[in-house]
Amino acid sequence: KTCFLLQFKDGAFLSGTFIATVGIDFRNKVVAVDGVKVKLQIWDTAGQERFRSVTHAYYRDAQALLLLYDITSKMSFDNIRAWLTEIHEYAQKDVVIMLLGNKADVSSERMVRTEDGASLAREYGVPFMETSAKTGMNVELAFLAIARELKQRAMQLPDVPRFQIHDYIEAQQKRSGCCAFV
Ligand SMILES: Nc1nc2c(ncn2[C@@H]2O[C@H](COP(=O)(O)OP(=O)(O)OP(=O)(O)O)[C@@H](O)[C@H]2O)c(=O)[nH]1
Ligand SMILES: [Mg+2]
């Protein structure tokens, strides 16, 4: 999660020693969506179980949640269902959720098939992408799709059709010649 966020924030991959997030951290990034500045305040939660009570307090108020699993870890994928259940219970009712299978660059150690990620996402009606914090694949797209969705919600006019995050991701991936699994 931290590497994914830092790739978006700074355009660089934090390699070397792994530093587990303690409790919670956050970064701001301003992005432009159709000429309108959208400030994203992105909270980076600790994955370790012992920080759960801390992270809990934060995602409850979030407008969007990016759920990351590691495609080289079956356990991280299996945990997603529990997260989705908990989110439905505690998060904001209209929270934007996105499922992301990260570390897609490490194909030799893949333990979770792309189709399995896609089908879980379909089951819960959330958009899905595989990403890489290392190469940057789909990192910006994930955040920009969320920024777009949140901006549209904030500025929604009654007669304008609602922004469709699934369609947006699919169109952007077609443009870039990458893989759409939404
Ligand atoms: N190859 C590859 N390695 C990655 C990628 N993302 C993260 N890593 C590596 O995976 C390890 C964990 O990354 P972090 O981003 O710190 O993980 P985290 O989810 O923030 O972990 P916690 O803070 O403990 O919850 C680090 O050694 C990273 O270098 C990726 O996309 N590709
Ligand atoms: Mg971290």
Q: What is the pLDDT of residues 1-36, one digit of tens each?
A: 999 999 999 999 988 889 999 999 999 999 999 999
Q: Is the pLDDT at 140 greater than 90, yes or no? A: yes
* Per-residue pLDDT, 179: 66
105 lines ligand 1 (CB under 6 A): yes
Identify the three-state secondary structure at position 169: helix
Separation of 15 CA from ligand 2 center, angstroms?
A: 13
Separation of 2 CA from ligand 1 center, angstroms?
A: 7
103 lines ligand 1 (CB under 6 A): yes
Global pTM? 0.91
**Token pair recorded at residue 140:** 């910006």
A 10 A CB-CB count for 110 gives: 14
Q: Are 25 and 43 in contact (CB under 8 A)?
A: yes
Give Cα 2 distance to the centre of its chain.
Answer: 12
Of residues 97, 172, 112, 166, the one with CA closest to residue 137 = 172
What confidence tier does 181 reach under pLDDT thresholds 50, 70, 90?
low
Query: Which ligand 1 atom lies nearest to the CA of residue 13?
Result: 29
Strand order in the sheet with 64-70: 64-70, 96-102, 128-130
Identify the three-state secondary structure at position 95: coil
Smallest CA separation from ligand 1 atom 32, residue = 103
**pLDDT by residue (tens digit) across 50-104?**
888 888 888 888 999 999 999 999 999 999 999 999 998 988 889 999 999 999 9
Separation of 70 CA from ligand 1 center, angstroms?
A: 9
* Per-residue pLDDT, 142: 98
